[in-house]
Amino acid sequence: MACSDENAGSDLGNSGSDATQGASQAPDATTDESAAADVPAVRRLIAASLPALSVESIAPLGEGTDHIAYLVDDRLVVRFTTGRDAILSAASVDREARLLTVAAAVSPIAVPKPVLVAPEKGCLAYLKLPGVPLLDLPQRRRALHAPGIAADLGRLLRALHAVAPQDVAELVTRDDLAPEQWLDEAAEHYATVAAAIPSAYRQVTREFLAAAAPQAPPQLRFSHNDLGIEHVLVDPRAGTVTGVLDWADAALADPARDFGLIYRDLGPAAAAAAFSAYGPDAAVALRDRAVFHARCALLEDLAFGLENGREPYVEKSLAGLAWLFSP
């Protein structure tokens, strides 16, 4: 789903995931003046927990429904949970820190690295990763670099899916929503966005929504579970992947799900590159469900973009109609 991410173009208010990274890549969520009043408290926490760190500047970075974040000297993201019971907040911080550690240990791509974990304060801090969200690149530049980026993401998914489910069972949930439920949700999204979909694509969309859902995956795998281009950081000049953000939705999930988001956002050639990098049998085993997830997720992102005035989500979703719902 379109979730809040930790760099530019993040949608901090959607689904309440993360209010996190980026200064020049600052989130476009609300950063109201009340956040500035807590800057002294952030300074005190850093002084007590990271005394060797000399702090020059602290700025409110973004606020979502579950988190508020600050940027320290354009290099450290300090994030606090909000609106939760203290015990639940502490557990959430501890879980996410351990999850990021597990992800970093196996990922061939950089992930946020915790440098301060204070569960009793609902606080997690980590170094800001370089790059900008792929969503922020013009569509033509995204298309130019898409196969190489997708190949990197395919290798990331291969590494994540190789993790034994029992090794992360205490850190992530099981996202075992039935395909029929995904399809029902897609139909609800279509009802809200149909008028925005060009007429050339509507019949195929309606046929997809009326067709039977695919069978459930035979097994769930450790997955990022929200690998949209808003969560993929790239070097804006070279177009190479520099990091993957927002692991809040990580789960034991259908291994085709993240491939579907690559397909949705970057197109069939990129999806083929991701499958090829993952392994020789990936396309055969996962492609049909990946296309299914891509179609469902496109309608979800289009609805999110239209309802929240998020033009980049609308733009990428309308572009994706050409490879997902063409007659």
| Same domain as 154, residue 301 | yes
| Same domain as 248, residue 107 | no
Where in the sequence is the domain holding 119, given as residue range(s)?
33-127
Task: With respect to residue 14, please indicate whether it lies within any of the assigned structural domains.
Answer: no
| Same domain as 81, residue 97 | yes
98 or 7, greater pLDDT? 98
| Same domain as 301, residue 217 | yes
Q: Tell me, what CATH number does 55's domain have?
A: 3.30.200.20
Contacts of 69 (CB under 8 A, 6+ apart): 18, 19, 20, 21, 27, 60, 61, 62, 63, 77, 78, 79, 80
The confidence score (pLDDT) of residue 16 equals 33
Residue among 204, 180, 186 at smallest CA distance from 300: 186
Q: Report residue 4's pLDDT band, with 50, 70 and 90 as the boundaries.
A: very low
Task: With respect to residue 25, please indicate whether it lies within any of the assigned structural domains.
Answer: no
| Same domain as 109, residue 93 | yes
For residue range 113-163, list pLDDT tens digits in order: 999 999 999 999 999 999 999 999 999 999 999 999 999 999 999 999 999
Task: With respect to residue 37, please indicate whether it lies within any of the assigned structural domains.
Answer: yes
| Same domain as 136, residue 280 | yes
Task: With respect to residue 184, please indicate whether it lies within any of the assigned structural domains.
Answer: yes
| Same domain as 202, residue 55 | no
Distance (Å, whole) CA 73 – CA 105: 27
- Please say which residue of 112, 127, 142 terminates a domain: 127
| Same domain as 278, residue 226 | yes
Per the structure, the count of domains in the chain is 2
- Please say which residue of 103, 127, 151 terminates a domain: 127
| Same domain as 47, residue 147 | no
For residue range 34-84, list pLDDT tens digits in order: 454 589 989 999 999 999 999 999 999 877 667 888 999 999 999 998 877
For residue range 87-108, list pLDDT tens digits in order: 888 988 999 999 999 999 999 9
The pLDDT of 220-225, averaged and rounded, is 97
Report whether pLDDT(111) > 90. yes
Distance (Å, whole) CA 289 – CA 261: 11
User: What percent of the chain shows pLDDT beyond 90?
Assistant: 77
- Please say which residue of 86, 107, 127 terminates a domain: 127
For 127, the token pair is 């170094």
Task: With respect to residue 6, please indicate whether it lies within any of the assigned structural domains.
Answer: no
For residue range 266-299, list pLDDT tens digits in order: 999 999 999 999 998 888 889 999 999 999 999 9
Report whether pLDDT(307) > 60. yes
The model's pTM is 0.85
